[in-house]
Amino acid sequence: MSVLTRDEAQTRARFLDVERYVIDLDLTVGEETFGSVTTVHFTVREGPGDTFVEVRPAALGRVVLDGAELDPGELSEGRFPLRGLAAGEHELRVEAEMRYSRVGEGMHRFVDPVDGRAYVYTQCCISDAPLVFACFDQPDLKAEFEVAVTAPPEWTVLSNGVAARTGGGEGRWECARTPRISTYLMAVVAGPYHSVRTEHAGLPFGLHVRRSLGEYLEADAHELLDITRRCFDRYHEIFDEPYPFDSYDQAFVPEFNAGAMENPGLVTFRDEFVYRSAVTATERQTRGIVIAHEMAHMWFGDLVTLRWWDDIWLNESFAEYMGYQTLSEATSYTDAWTDFGVSRKCWGYDADERPSTHPVAPEAEAVPDTAAARTNFDGISYSKGAAALRQLVAWLGEKAFLAGINEHFARHRFGNATLADFLESLARASDRDVHGWAERWLRTTGVDTLVPRAEGGEVEVEHRGGRPHRLAIGLYDEAPADPGRLVLRERLERDVPAQGGLSVRLDGPQPDLLLLNDGDLTYAKVRLDARSWQTARRTLSGLPGQLTRAVVWNAARDMVRDGELAPLEYVRTVRAHLPAESDNAVVEGVLAFGRTQVADRFAAPDGERAEVLGLLSETCRELLEGVGARDAGVRLTAVRYFIDCATSPRELAAWRAAGSVPGGPELDAELRWRLLLRLAVLGAVGVADVEAALEADPSATGEEGAARCSAALPDAAGKAAAWEAMFGEEDALSNYLFAATAQGFWQPEQARLLGGFAERYFADAMRVSERRGASLAELAGRYAFPRMWVDAGTLARGEECLRSGVPVRALRRAWVDQLDDLRRALRVREAARG
């Protein structure tokens, strides 16, 4: 299908305005397709002229323009031409039969294996609205929407405006007309949903989930609604513009590709956020951040929308920043920024060091079409952008920042805006050089590095980079009467200039530990001087404040990735200090890096990997006996990673037989599948065990667990079957079952079984991506890539495929990132060998 280019969008936006879409969807047609009738009211500014409307149907029925029938056969590559349009008002009617999706694009259809009930929902972002209805599909042609839906009589229908049953039949629903929104934000959710409804601030609020998860929603409804209300009220405290839509529904939908989607009045979330099993407070906090993030989009993105996809950051960076900030201000999750620092921010750092990096706000020419835009929903647009905004607030001041935001909303409500528009609003609210700040922070790439050198009472900060930084410098001394515990002597706030370093005169002797970016206010890698690193090796767990400890752990992480700290030395530091850590976000972030990066990528595959797994297992066991005995969240995290790091099946098999971990917790669904996966990798269970587990848990999550475990079995025939399921031409796997199969397939313990598949991967991934589209291509690049093969042969095959092949854009981007990570892993291993 053709992708929309920026030039085409600009030409069309100059040519016409869209007033209203009237959309009628029939969800009773069958299991493969649904009916879609769209009437578009639009105005041509100057004519006569030509343009096109996008629609990607299974079958195109009628196209009627101003009462005249057009030939449906003129549809080509998802575009229908509209020729000779005169200036003035026009009405276009398009009748089509559309396909349901299995990969989360357009109108996704899911049948719950628990009870056989079917559910559908739309995902129209970035360019998938034409899979649902005919439209002029670009963000700056905003319009009002009137949606009607015919559905089975037992179904509930939700949309952007309040939906109500009508007299035209039990299954007929009509939705209130929306204000002006973009096509990518139109949403419909339909099915026999279980709902919890309430009212707040005079508006209907709702939570919705498929029936088989209804009891779990009921258990969490109070917390979900409490966070929703608190965030809603907080936004009304800081934003002058009131909530701009007529309702606020949150639907938790199956097999959703993103974490959530900010459809006005109807936010869709992946339904893993309705927990079937025990979770940590950190995971609940993450869910709260996503709720706050998506609600922020009602203003950042929905009320005021980007003009073109180069300004994705105007949506995502702001929502990311506001999600963390608002949750920490309005709820009991006051330490949300620790989780951002120790886990989420690393997503930005890693993305910014790859060849695929781009500015937070790239030049418009750098995003020439919608395919390019899709690849920019990444760690730069989310976490780096949010970190930059946090730095902007520290530099500009919160009062001026909020004043600029409110100016922006007032000037562009229900319209579109650009970076230049936003900077103009900020400049009106402050006498600071906002444009200069933006040029250095938003138009550049890469991560600055700050390196301290301390001698006597003088500290010199070497600045490798070109951005100004407002940061804190923490001075810590070891407590004389309590070795191993550090005490904050002083925290100095300083500005590091864009060019050159910083010199700081200390009022006293050199501290035992000097920490740049204490409090994590800026986006930069930091290093520790030799004395500070030695102190950290002895006393890291004795540092006061979890955010301070997170900054040190991140510094160590970056040193490993840059080849300056041996992977084994990092894990020995983990073994020495993590057992005393009480903050679960820190525990989880450090163990995740140790298990997924150090063990599987950076450690040599001989005895070093086994030693790393052993040290991580010992760390988890001590956590269970120490902090984990007092904190259920830390305990659950330790149990999970103990399972993942096990190299012998004996203890795990005993847990499985007992149905619990000694001292708790009981093995719920999540732990049972996690444990079975590790036993499958170790060859301690077989096909019959996986089938029995699926029979005991025949849910969608159970199907994914069974796919993951089946693919992980060390059996040649099973591996061949899993590969055929992923890459064979039947294409029967949904997006979630494809990802689950890929996650189970590659296991470092099974290298002898997998060599041939590593050689087949690149060609097979290209073919499946061409058949199944961008979302599946992204999964094939992320999960099915042979990450465990850290060798020059895999790198050479991948580089040759990029040179000589033509992978779809989403797959190419994933491969560029994966191959760069592979080069880094090879460099780290080489540096560790000395």
What is the mean predicted confidence (pLDDT) over 208-215? 98
In this predicted structure, the answer to whether residue 76 has a pLDDT above a threshold of 90 is: yes
Mean pLDDT across the stretch 79-108?
98
* pLDDT class of 457 with cuts at 50, 70, 90: confident
Per-residue pLDDT band at 797 (split at 50, 70, 90)? very high
Q: Is the pTM of this model over 0.75?
A: yes
For the segment 381-390, what is each residue's pLDDT rounded down to a tens digit?
Answer: 999 999 999 9
Cβ atoms of 641 and 678 within 8 Å: the answer is no
Percent of the chain with pLDDT over 90: 96
Is the predicted pLDDT of residue 167 greater than 80, yes or no? no
Helices (H), 240-359: 281-296, 312-330, 336-339, 345-352
Active site residues: 294
Q: Is the pLDDT of residue 168 over 70?
A: no
pLDDT over 70 percentage in the chain? 100
What does each C-alpha distance from 236 to 229, 386, 399, 550, 693 come to in angstroms?
A: 11, 21, 15, 32, 48
pLDDT mean over 452-475: 93
**Residue from 783, 790, 697, 791 nearest 745 by CA:** 783
Residues 397-434 as b/e (b if ≥16 CB within 10 A, e otherwise) read eeebbbbbbbbbbeebeeebbbbebbbbbbbebbeeeb
Over residues 107-121, the mean pLDDT reads 98
Burial of 650 per CB tally in 10 Å (0-12, 13-18, 19+) = exposed
Average predicted confidence (pLDDT) for the chain = 96
pLDDT band per the 50, 70, 90 thresholds, residue 455: confident
CA pair distance 540, 559, nearest whole angstrom:
16
Q: Among residues 256, 106, 252, 244, which one has the least CA distance to residue 186?
A: 106
